[in-house]
Chain A
């Protein structure tokens, strides 16, 4: 089974909130100092799912990303985990692309790769939390889509996907080729091996630009975006926490119960 996994490089989403900074003027997020960007966690889980499928059914895993020059770092990370190939789609003309343009850029590359059975995306990129690219990519490529996958199996030559819902799950069956978006219920991704890291760091990641993927200039970049960012701000927290203290934790607990009673909460 040949699998394409789309991965995105993002600022570490688990930095403490105090380290999160904005430039409100230019409506930009300031990358936290000293904390390197990471692969989007859901995409790492998509790579994990791809590796599990490969272990069972064989085939090849190709990683795709679009971003700036440093984005090939996440491709190398995926290679260190066991993916076979990776391509970085990088061009000045791609900058400022919205979800539709990003999906367009990825779909042009997927068409060139051509030989695939499954495309995997994360459920959302944990920077802008759009949750859009996977679905748009599926529409662009005319592929059946199942979102929010927890597990994926092959049964009688069809893809069987367990989709997470808020109060349970659904099971879908689709035929190949298909696109699946991956949720965190997939579970912990594996760690790269020392050898994996070394050999991935030596790899040269091919870079494709707008010409290579025959991108229509009207469909990419800032000018093509369907939405404009009017404002970006850190929400004000007006709450003041009343700390309940006591000689012992137990004493504080009793006071807390009394306070909550006073407030009519319990």
Chain B
């Protein structure tokens, strides 16, 4: 087992840039590699990624493996899997990091099965135990009701996916140096079992949830599409955007792509206003990192008040109009 060493990040590049989640992985990976005194490497796949490779070095990576000329977003999972397995032979890392996003969710478990690895999905913290030197993998379980800490000492490699926003994105330092190793990989086409017919991005108008500084989120208490007009007005005045819980998504009041939580987006805005939201752990999983959480709920016993910084007990139909007016006045 001694041949496995170092940390490999399976990174993502979008429009020539290292994605935010990948920068978060670099922060986590850098810390682990310093603690273990081992090298941090990253795999970048896509077209025109040479600039991104340099960027990765500035962010703190020691070795960058680049696989050029493969349109990453359009490649079927088996192709990506074959590539990672190939790089894996070269790098023989003991820890492999993915983001808990579209790619990591899909690829990481398959890779673990293929490599005979251990795997822990959706971790919020990774640490090296100072005594045993093992990788401690903390992961919310039971919808976020509890946190489990796992170790997998006897198994190599150890694959982990990290929840978005679990670490701050790495900042560039142009004085850093590292190696960039272009890798040519020939994929045996016969491994490809699924055909990707199309990838559709449903453009959201306005601010993206993961970039919003202010989110006004509505839940089951909004009780219909119409109520969201008030939330939109508040969001607009505060320069923010709308989020939802599972309920408006299931009821079809709002587009599913706005869902926040364990299975939706994970956000950490400066201000999160939760309106008509009970505060189920599965929802809080997506917003508990918000700097300031305000809850408006007509039930004083609602669990959301346990997590909120500020709370109002009342009907949102009575609470929002004066709040909107006051915010307007304050903004002037």
Chain A interfacial positions (CB closer than 8 Å to B):
11, 13-14, 16-18, 20, 22, 29, 99-100, 103, 123, 126-132, 134-136, 138-140, 144-148, 160, 164-175, 183-185, 187-188, 226-235, 237, 239, 241-244, 248-254, 256-261, 263, 265-266
Contact = CB atoms under 8 A, between A and B. Distances in A.
Given A146-B194, A166-B102, A232-B149, A129 B292 contact: no
Given A227-B137, A239-B308, 14 more contacts: A17-B280, A99-B119, A123-B263, A166-B102, A174-B195, A226-B152, A228-B151, A239-B307, A253-B314, A253-B323, A254-B322, A261-B330, A263-B292, A265-B271
Contacts of A136: 109, 112-113
Contacts of B270: 265
B194 A241 contact: no
A233 B145 CA distance: 9
A235 B105 contact: no
A20 B146 CA distance: 9
Contacts of B293: 239
Interface stretch (B41-49, B90-98, B178-186, B197-205): B197-205
B145 A241 contact: no
B309 interface: yes
Given A131-B105, A145-B110, A253 B330 contact: no
Task: Pick the most buried of B201, B263, B313: most chain A CB atoms within 10 A of its CB.
Answer: B263
B293 to A, nearest CB: 8
A167 B197 contact: no
Contacts of A188: 250
Nearest to B73: A170
Contact of A229 (B106, B117, B149, B291): B149
A187 B264 CA distance: 15
Task: Pick the most buried of A11, A103, A130, A257: most chain B CB atoms within 10 A of its CB.
Answer: A257
B118 interface: yes
Interface of A is mostly: mixed
9 contacts: A29-B146, A169-B202, A175-B193, A227-B155, A230-B136, A243-B305, A250-B319, A253-B318, A266-B327
Q: What 6 A-B pairs come out closest when comparing CB atoms?
A: A249-B314, A135-B109, A139-B113, A257-B326, A144-B193, A231-B149
A171 B198 contact: yes
B140 A129 contact: yes
Contacts of B319: 249-250, 252-253
A143 to B, nearest CB: 8
A250 B318 contact: yes
Given A242-B310, A249-B319, A254 B326 contact: yes
B197 A140 contact: no
A198 to B, nearest CB: 29
Given A170-B198, A237-B307, A241-B305, A20 B145 contact: yes
A239 to B, nearest CB: 6
A145 B113 CA distance: 13
Contacts of A16: 303
B312 interface: yes
Nearest to B300: A243
A256 B148 contact: no
A251 B153 CA distance: 58
B194 to A, nearest CB: 5
B162 to A, nearest CB: 14
A139 B310 contact: no
Nearest to B265: A166
A244 B320 CA distance: 14
Contacts of A131: 105, 109, 121-122
B93 to A, nearest CB: 17
